[in-house]
Amino acid sequence: MSKAVPKYSVTEFAPRSGDYCVLIPILNEKGRIDRELARAQQAGVGRAADLVICDGGSADGCTDEALLRQYGVNTLLVKQDGGRQGAQLRMGFDWALARGYRGFVTVDGNDKDSIEDVPRFLEKLEAGYDFVQGSRFRKGGRAVNTPLIRLLSVRLLHAPVISLTAKKWYTDTTNAFRAYSRAYLEDPRVQIFREVFSGYELLAYLSVRADQLGMKTCEIPVTRAYPRGEKAPTKIKGLRGNADLLKILFRNLLGAYKPKEEPK
């Protein structure tokens, strides 16, 4: 099977420093990614794992090289093909696997997530977990200023359907703050490098596939904070965006994203 990876450029500011990296997808996040990287630097996240920006083609100056160097970013990847979040993640995973990392944390670059919690994910990867889901709803987690419609959709629809698909209860399934083991992503029964994973399909698929294959999974508490008095930073907008998300959710339930030819 051919490997579907978008074309992308690579700007490395430093060599690989360890076994783990943090992949941060962004698209025009000026101001927000600055604040997130500043918090990561203050918490010493870059000493625990290499920070990698997975840019979807930003045009607002948020990938300025001097800025990224200032905050200790290890590498900048810039997608030069079509596709949205799934394409950015495929780009990041392709590069990070080739560079030899053993585990990968993903976190949105819009300053909503507690990037300071990255070491908690790394502890779980070190303990042998293959998929670690961050949750604002687990004991010790915090949901700050979550829009009511988002709260209800996650708790009453998205989480129950993902949990049914995975056959394991999860509480915060739209949250992209997660960790994956190399063994999970390279398992031939998973096959993440497919064109079908262009938008949010990959996020939904990877939420359930590890449990379907009997891998070691868990949730850990994190914080997700929406800004008060501002428009919620999200790429899922309007009726069409939410309808697309629902379509992906139920296609995933029906097994649409499983490999057509699974190795025996």
User: Buried b vs exposed e over 13-37: b needs ≥16 C-beta within 10 Å?
Assistant: eeeeeeebbbbbbbbbbeebbbebb
Say what the pLDDT of residue 37 is: 98
Q: How many angstroms separate the Cα of 50 from the Cα of each of 64, 132, 221?
A: 18, 18, 22
**Which residues are CB-contacts of 106 (< 8 A; sequence separation ≥ 6)?**
22, 23, 24, 25, 89, 92, 176, 177, 178, 179, 180
User: Buried b vs exposed e over 204-235: b needs ≥16 C-beta within 10 Å?
Assistant: bbbbbbbbbeebbbbbbbbbbebeeeeeeeee
Give the C-alpha separation, 7 to 121, whole Å: 29
> Is the torsion defined by CA of 75, 79, 84, 86 positive or negative?
negative
Looking at the structure, give the CATH architecture of the domain made up of residues 8-253.
Alpha-Beta Complex (3.90)
Amino acid, res. 206? L
Say what the pLDDT of residue 239 is: 53
Q: Taking the chain (264 residues) in consecutive chunks of 10 residues, what is each chunk's mean pLDDT?
A: 91 98 98 98 98 97 97 98 95 98 98 98 98 98 94 94 98 97 98 96 98 98 89 54 86 96 59
Contacts of 93-99 spanning 24+ positions with Cβ under 8 A: 93/23, 93/185, 93/192, 93/193, 94/3, 94/5, 94/193, 95/8, 95/10, 95/52, 96/21, 96/23, 96/52, 97/182, 97/185, 97/186, 99/16, 99/21
Say what the pLDDT of residue 262 is: 59
Give the C-alpha separation, 255 to 264, whole Å: 18
Assign 33 to helix, strand or coil: helix
Give the C-alpha separation, 203 to 177, whole Å: 10
How do the domains of the chain map onto residue ranges?
8-253
Give the C-alpha separation, 52 to 76, whole Å: 6
Q: How many angstroms separate the Cα of 137 from the Cα of each of 158, 164, 229?
A: 14, 18, 22
